[in-house]
Amino acid sequence: MRIILKKIWFIPLMLFLYSCSSVPVSEQESETSPTVQSDVLEEKTPVWVTVVKDEYFVSQETIKYEDGFVDGYRLYEYDEDGKILTKSQIGSDESVISEEIFSYNSDSLLIRSDYISSGKLVSYSEFTYDENKRVIEEAYFNPKGELLSVSSYEYDDKGRRTKWVSGDSGGIPMMYTQYEYKNNKLVQMNYFMPAGDLEGYTQLEYEGDNLVLEATYSPTSKLEKKTEYVFQEDRLDQALYYMGKTLIRTVKYSYDQTGNVIEETTMNRHGDIIDIIEKEYVVFTVEKTVLQ
């Protein structure tokens, strides 16, 4: 059964964190014996578990200007299990600008995505998984089936991504990223050229489980860009984006009673509204295999 949903889109979380697509696990404090004090935090090894719960999925994003003019839409279609089937970009004249179509295997793992523009296939990606259902390779092709680029991924024994290698059409590495964790939270990403020369790095800071700062530096530790995340009562209130130390834009978030983002307002450095994205959701009771 296919369910076409015409309401609005929720931001996948921030971040990547990438195509990384995982949420940091809370710190686990080690117990202290009656006679020995220890500052070492015990890290609990994550395991795959199946959970059933209600989840909200964005069905439409409406992009508007401050005067109310609708600049376009993003529509989302899901199956009955909540798997995304299509994303469509709709213009202000209601014409379809582009679509992305997703295909899955019998294990409900994404194995292909097709990007279509003006009714024609522009490119597609294919995904390969290991025995633990983790993406280990993503290959990107043109409409003729010719390989354009390939990304490969490595993980540690806790299921955390540790390395991302980006290669060209011949599979030759062009750059790679290494990930560092502390207390099961991603704290740094280091970017390297194939020969091992450091091209830069990104550091992440948290308050509790909330990511509050993401800053990218040059190899000489010069700040290039950063994003500050401001929370109110454990809920993201706004994100401030900087180039160097100069604020370039701010995004403010509004929520409904269930805690879903229903509006994003983007403003320039002077506080003028650039656009407003309104979101609506559909709810599914889904069964998911997650790492806990």
Q: What is the pLDDT of residues 94-142, one digit of tens each?
A: 999 999 999 999 999 999 999 999 999 999 999 999 999 999 999 999 9
Pairing mode of beta strands 48-64, 246-255: unpaired
Nearest in space to 73 (alpha carbons), one of 43, 104, 95: 95
Share above pLDDT 70 across residues of the chain, in percent, rounded to a whole number: 85
Q: How many other β-carbons are positioned within 10 Å of the β-carbon of residue 53?
A: 10
8 Å CB contact between 198 and 219: yes
pLDDT at 194: 93
CA angle 29, 213, 197 (to 5 degrees): 95
- Alpha carbon distances (Å) from 80 to 57, 74, 85, 143: 12, 20, 10, 30
pLDDT at 17: 41
Residue with the bigger pLDDT between 64 and 287: it is: 64
- Model confidence pLDDT, tens digit, residues 197-212: 999 999 999 999 999 9
pTM as predicted: 0.77
Q: Token pair for residue 149?
A: 């680029």
Phi first, then psi: give them for residue 30, nearest 5 degrees: -75, 145
Q: Where are the domains of the chain?
A: 2-16+45-291
Long-range contacts of 38-42, Cβ-Cβ distance < 8 Å, separation of 24 or more? 41/183
Domain 2-16+45-291 class in CATH = mainly beta
Confidence of residue 10 (pLDDT cuts 50, 70, 90): very low
pLDDT at 8: 37
Is the predicted pLDDT of residue 35 greater than 70, yes or no? no
- Alpha carbon distances (Å) from 132 to 154, 192, 217: 12, 27, 34
8 Å CB contact between 244 and 225: yes
